[in-house]
Structure 1
């Protein structure tokens, strides 16, 4: 016996199955900083841009403030595939290769124009180093220039002799040593507690971090050294990237380019805004004295020479390309 209605019904079911939307890909994205930090805000917008461009087929959930992985763990978590995408401070990888520390050499690039030129000169090599670990660079955004926070005015490095100085990478450790201070590793979220308990007495960081940690509660003076503009990188596991459909990959890369351009603009706007907030909350903001400026410039020359020795021919190529751009 035949049932003539079954064939049209079967055809309708098959058509309906093909009409169902593809299952969305969900990515968890660890980031080190809180929601009030402009880097996190930029990344949140990046995730929204990706969702919009892919009609929700690629959904990135941002886990801020180290809530998914602590900052030191994020890069390896992405490399191992424990998270497909994440953000980290580039200079945190300096122990792996000195190229990752190029943006943290004091006074090599101490303005946004200089930082852009240095990034253009160093990006291809950074991408190559990451690719060797199965990582793809999506974008990088700088912090505002790094300046010194203390509990009293400083006129020379002698005022920092023996002081416990917050460090967050090898460059800040070396800077503290050359200033005669004692480097102490402290994560961003632990800054207030470290000062309150006496673990540190001074630090060099951006006005952004100063405001987010409410530096006026434990320091009184901000010396505007603008030593360097370190960058945060957003990296993706290359296998996870390659597994995406081509249109989603293209949307992700386009959103990344937009996020980098937007992030640099946000960083520049951040500097004046956050310095004004420091003043509003009672901090004394001042330029470095002539003595301190000269001492820090000498330290910068020392650290540039040390970096070039460590980075070898690759480092020399980057610095030469940067210098040619700035001439």
Structure 2
């Protein structure tokens, strides 16, 4: 019976590989439309990245591969990794923090107060990209490109400038790590999907939201929260990924064209980030949102202490080569936003080589 079951599994695996190759061959001859899913709205940094990739995919592959963007997608929200591996979608945009269960390296861009500018965000992403690729590969995923987000702040009904202002606030965060950091300062914080935020705010179940407030998400927040506390908690990133087996099944001549489309989309995202941050600031001003930059020294100290404790915890859970990324990050200059990550950055530091 064991041999029969093993034989069936091998047969299914061989058949799946055959079908994947056949599908790729057909795509090369007749063209194929891929669904690229995101759990964020189209008018967000991640959404714009998906749209850029869709356009680049058609252009770089001469229409052999075309993309269809699907926003606020249930498949991307519930389990983006499974959605790709099961073939429900061909590629998916996934927030870095949502991959923390896959490997702690994906917590890197959301480490509190480690990054202070969009230039530093790009530098860290360049240094970490090989580690991201390796971790995704172990999960059966292929990294297409990294998509940056504007910095995250704390949206609230009332200004949050002191430790007392933060205590007992019901706060939505975007991952468990940020919930722990704010929880350590007395807030009632929980990681929740972005789709749930609007209804929870309207029903009075939330007092604050940790978010960049980018694009359409910002419009939702502005309708309920009149304060943006610019604490620059983190500069997170998203990843657009596909199945590694699907990538390998593509015709050899098609893969470089897919890579070119991904590189084009990533370069556009980094180049557009400063203007996107400015546009979000203007939108907040027009909506009458109060941007609270100065905060009480005691709150600042406690935030950074809680953040540093989170960094120490992360360092204790990652291998030395991943921990070295932070040290290298502190001593390398930022790359130009218009070009892919320079080889010198990718090779810098022990453990960051492909």
TM more than 0.5: yes
Preserved CA contact (<8 Å) 2:143 2:242: yes
Deviations 1:156-197 (A, max 9, x none): 232121221102212221122122111223221221211122
Q: Does the 8 Å CA contact 1:192/1:213 hold for their aligned counterparts?
A: no
2:19 is equivalent to residue 34 of structure 1: no
Distance 2:168 2:328 in 1: 38
Q: Is the 8 A contact 1:165 1:183 kept in 2?
A: yes
Secondary structure at 1:179's aligned position in 2? coil
CA distance in 1 between counterparts of 2:145 and 2:132 reads 11
1:84 is displaced (CA, Å) by 2.2
CA RMSD in angstroms comes to 1.9
Q: Which of 44, 47, 69 in structure 2 is aligned with 1:62?
A: 69
Partner of residue 177, structure 2: 171
How far off is 1:312 after superposition? 4.1
Q: Find the counterpart in structure 1 of residue 52 from structure 2.
A: 45
| TM-score computed with the length of structure 2 as normaliser | 0.81
Return the offset for 1:315.
3.4
Does residue 1:91 correspond to 2:97, yes or no? Answer: yes
Match of 2:317 among 310, 313, 321: 310
CA distance, structure 2, for counterparts of residue 112 and residue 38 of structure 1 = 13
Provide the C-alpha distance between the structure 2 equivalents of 1:211 and 1:133, rounded to a whole number of angstroms: 30
Rounded to whole Å, the distance in 2 between the matches of 1:142 and 1:136 is: 18
Residue in 2 aligned with 1:11? Answer: none
8 Å contact kept, 2:45–2:148: no
* Post-superposition offset of 1:210: 7.1
User: Which of 124, 127, 133 is the aligned partner of 1:127?
Assistant: 133
1:114 and 2:114 matched: no
* Distance in 2 (alpha carbons) for counterparts of 1:137 and 1:97: 14
- In 2, Cα distance between the equivalents of 1:58 and 1:87? 18
Identify the residue that residue 266 of structure 2 maps to in structure 1.
260
Matching residue of 1:185? 191
Q: Is 2:301 the counterpart of 1:294?
A: yes
Name 1:281's counterpart in structure 2: 287
Candidates 139, 142, 146, aligned match of 2:148: 142
Tell me how many residue pairs correspond in the alignment.
Answer: 306
- Are 1:211 and 1:278, in contact at CA under 8 Å, matched by a contact in 2? no
Task: Find 2:82's aligned residue among 64, 70, 76.
Answer: 76
* 2:30 maps to 1:23: yes
Instruction: Compute the displacement of 1:107 (Å).
Output: 0.7
Runs of 5+ in structure 2 lacking a partner?
A: 1-27, 335-354
Tell me which residue corresponds to 1:194: 200
Structure 1 portions without partners, runs of 5+ = 1-20
**Are 2:119 and 1:101 equivalent residues in the alignment?**
no
Alpha carbons 1:186, 1:194 under 8 Å: kept: no
1:277 deviates by: 0.7
Distance 1:326 1:299 in 2: 27
Query: Displacement, 1:211?
Result: 5.0
